[in-house]
Structures are given as C-alpha cells and as structure tokens.
Amino acid sequence: MSKPVIATATLAGCFGCHMSILDIDEKILDLIELVEFNKSPIDDIKNFTKKCDIGLIEGGCCNSENVHVLKDFRKNCNTLISLGECAIMGGLPACRNPIPIKECLEEAYLNGPSVKGHNESGIIPNDDEIPMMLDKVYPCHEIVKIDYFLPGCPPSAELIWNALTALITGNEMELPYEVIKFD
Amino acid sequence: MADIINFTIDGKECVAEKGTLILQAAQENDIYIPTLCNYEGVKPQGSCRICTIKTNGQFVTACTTPVADGMEIENNTEEINDLRKSIIELLFVEGNHFCPACEMSGDCELQALAYRFQMMVPRFTFQFPKREIDARNPKILMDSNRCIRCKRCIRAIKDEKERSIFAFHGRGRNIEVHIDPDLGSKLTDELAERSVTICPVGAILPREKGFRTPIGQRKFDHEPIGSEYKY
Ligand code: SF4
Ligand code: SF4
Ligand code: FES
C-alpha cells in the first residue's frame, strides 16, 4: 500500500502551527516513515504533483491569494483540516475585522504614527501584483468545506500527532482534556 | 423538620429539602450542572440558559426552578449537552473572543465550558462586532469584546449604599456594560478585585497586573470545569 500523502499551507498565520507540527520531536521520524509530504513549506514543494489524502491549513483568509490557495487545497486534498485558531476563527489577524478595511489601510499607510509624514504622495499600495486584501479575515470553513478542526494557538504537537495517526490508521482519535486548548 | 423530597437526575436517586433550586439540589447530590450567569450568593436570574435541564418533556433552567417531589430530571444527555454547547458557540461568535491574546485565558469560565463540551469550532458564523474598550477607570479595564452580558457584575458589585456600580447601556444586540463614572471613580481595591473575580470572562480586568498566573497553573489548565463534582 502506498503511503498517505500530506500537504500543508500557511495562509494568514504566523507559521506557529507549522512549528508545532515539527514540535512532535523524534516522532517526526515516525511520521516520515508513515506518510509522504507533497505541497508544503516543510519540503518546499510549490505545486501539487498528485492528489493528497490530508491537507493541513494554518491561518485564515485575509487576501485573494489565501482564497486561491485554500480552494486549490480543497480541490487536491481528500480531507482538509483547519489547524489552529487563525484557520478556525481568523485569530489575531481578525482583530481588524470590526474595523472597516478603508480605515485599516489608511491607518497602516497614511495616518499611523510610524508612517505619518513619510508617505507624502499618500499612496496606498494597489498594484495588480499584490494580492487584494479582503474586507475582513475569514475563517477557512467560511470559504470552503473543512472536515476537521484542531484548535490551539498553536495546537499542541500531541493534538496534531493524535489527529494524524487517527486519520492514517482509521482509529478513533484520542482527545485527553489537556490537548484541547485555545491558547 | 424540613420536608425531604425524592427525585432523580439521569436515573440517579437524589434527595433534597423541599423548595431547593434544582441546581443546588444537584450539587448537594454531587452532580454537576454547568452555569454561567449564576453566581453563588447572588440572586439567580436564569438568563444564559446553560444550566438547562429537561423534566416532564420541558426544558427549564436549573438555577431558577425549584425541585419537586418525584421529579425526573435529565441533565447529562446528548440532547441537552448539545443544546448547551450551541449556547457556548453562540457566545463565541457573538462577541470577539481572541483567546490566544486574552488575559483571562485558562481562568475563563466560557472557555472552560467550551473545553468541557469539546467545542472545536462554533457552528454559527462569526459576527466580529465592533465593541469598545473602556480604560478610563484607574483600577479596572472594561473590554466589552468579551462581555457575555451575564449581569453578574451588575447584580453583585454594589457600593455601601447598595447602589450598582455597573449598569447596562443601550438595547438589544448593542447592549454594553458600563461603569458608573461617579461610583466607579470611588471603586475600592477590594471591590475592583471582586469585580474581576465575579466576571466569568475577561471583560473586567485589573489594571497594571496582566497575565498574573503562568500557563500550567491556571484554573482550567488540567481539569475540566465542574471537576469538583463526582457526576
Ligand atoms: S473571555 Fe474567555 S472565551 Fe473570551 S477571549 Fe478571553 S479566554 Fe477566550
Ligand atoms: S462584564 Fe463580565 S460580569 Fe459583567 S455582564 Fe459582562 S461578562 Fe458578565
Ligand atoms: S446559570 Fe442558569 S440560566 Fe445561567
């Protein structure tokens, strides 16, 4: 039997969830025995080269590029998992959500204390090359269907390990009290 | 002698004094019923509905309904727990709960209930409402992003003349808890500390004392809320 294939991505996240994947310590050796990685920042494969079994998504969607990547993952992964608070509920990037996008951009480029007086032409970057910011940061499951959610900031290595092994072996997932945390 | 009555919770035989509220009667029989708006020593108001139980085919709140002789109560069932979980989920989407950056994380009753009921993601759409932080008071900080409008502060924190220091302001979904500017400015250290304790979430915070308890030593780090009860 061929090994299950895993892909991972960071959208509007801080890479902390990916750090937590690596935080399974020496079990990472077991993991590479058990699975094969495809598109992921871990192995730097940029494009899907085959259909994957499991996709792990860190971060919510704050711009058009995030939406594009997320939809690509949905298309190429049988099981898609929201990994961490940002993917699940927007996380810290979503702190901007109650504020209108226009106000956010003006604060960042025109009025904020570190830019005021330094942006004389009053330009807010708006090049076609730059992904378009969304009106707010969206949790992944508000953009595509997500199959499982692993909370935490970051999710503990144990939670990630338990989830992956349960998915791979088809056994029920172990969920001891201490592994579900939102912080 | 007081009248002793018999009733059952999830089939377990229980006894209580006549007139006891279901919540208290359950606790006396070592049975956990989750609560949020209720606070020991403060008159129950039955607003959050987390303590909902089922008896005689009806859903009622355990914190406001007295137990009756022969009552058969359903408490820890799949149906009721899912109802409770949905209330917790509603509270999460209705405010702005960024737990990773919240000083009350680990000590928060709402979060602890979400852990207990294994909320992995709310089933409702996040609202991300615009709410304000009020940092005018010298002793406490009010963050209405996290307020669940349980009214515990309003009901429990009074000055020496029994006047409430906190009050509701506005209506409907825009309702907010405000501190009375006048009474608030005279808030004693003791009352300030008590209002921080009485708030189940991180909506009332002490000033100049952030993140007081290290991770690992917080109230709900190792055991679910309600672990003090056997059932
Ligand atoms: S008040 Fe509780 S639920 Fe809300 S952000 Fe803080 S810890 Fe999380
Ligand atoms: S400030 Fe805290 S205690 Fe007061 S109503 Fe809001 S959540 Fe309840
Ligand atoms: S605890 Fe009973 S309704 Fe809130």
Chain A residues with a Cβ under 8 Å from any Cβ in chain B: 82, 85, 88-92, 94-95, 97-99, 136, 139, 141-142, 146, 148-151, 153, 175, 177-178, 180-183
Token duo for residue B23: 């919540």
B187 touches ligand 3 (CB under 6 Å): no
pLDDT of residue A142: 98
Radius of gyration, CA atoms only, chain A: 18
Q: How confident is the model at residue A1 (pLDDT cuts 50, 70, 90)?
A: low
Parse chain B into domains and list their residue ranges.
4-76, 86-206
A5-95+135-180: which CATH number, 3.40.50.720, 3.10.20.30, 3.40.1190.10, 3.40.50.700?
A: 3.40.50.700
Token duo for residue B205: 């915070």
| Domain B4-76: CATH architecture, name and number where available | Roll (3.10)
The verdict on a CB contact (< 8 Å) between A85 and B125 is no
CA dist list (Å): A99 to A42, A95, A104, A137: 34, 8, 7, 11
**Nearest atom in ligand 3 to B49's CA:** 3
Mean pLDDT of chain B: 96
Q: How confident is the model at residue B71 (pLDDT cuts 50, 70, 90)?
A: very high
Q: How confident is the model at residue B210 (pLDDT cuts 50, 70, 90)?
A: confident
Q: How confident is the model at residue A138 (pLDDT cuts 50, 70, 90)?
A: very high
Parse chain A into domains and list their residue ranges.
5-95+135-180
Spatial separation of the C-alpha atoms in residues A28 and B22, rounded to whole Å = 51
Q: Which of A20-34, A145-159, B55-69 has the lowest mean pLDDT?
A: A20-34
Which ligand has its closest atom nearest to the C-alpha of B152? 2
Token duo for residue A85: 């608070």
CATH topology of domain B86-206: Alpha-Beta Plaits (3.30.70)
Q: What 3 state SS string does B121-176 have? A: CCCCCCCCCCCCEECCCCCEEEECCCCCCCCHHHHHCECCCCCECEEEECCHHHCE
- pLDDT at A183 > cutoff 80: yes
Spatial separation of the C-alpha atoms in residues B52 and B62, rounded to whole Å = 6
How many angstroms separate the most distant Cα atoms in chain A?
63
pLDDT of residue B1: 58
- pLDDT at A25 > cutoff 90: no
The verdict on a CB contact (< 8 Å) between A182 and B105 is yes
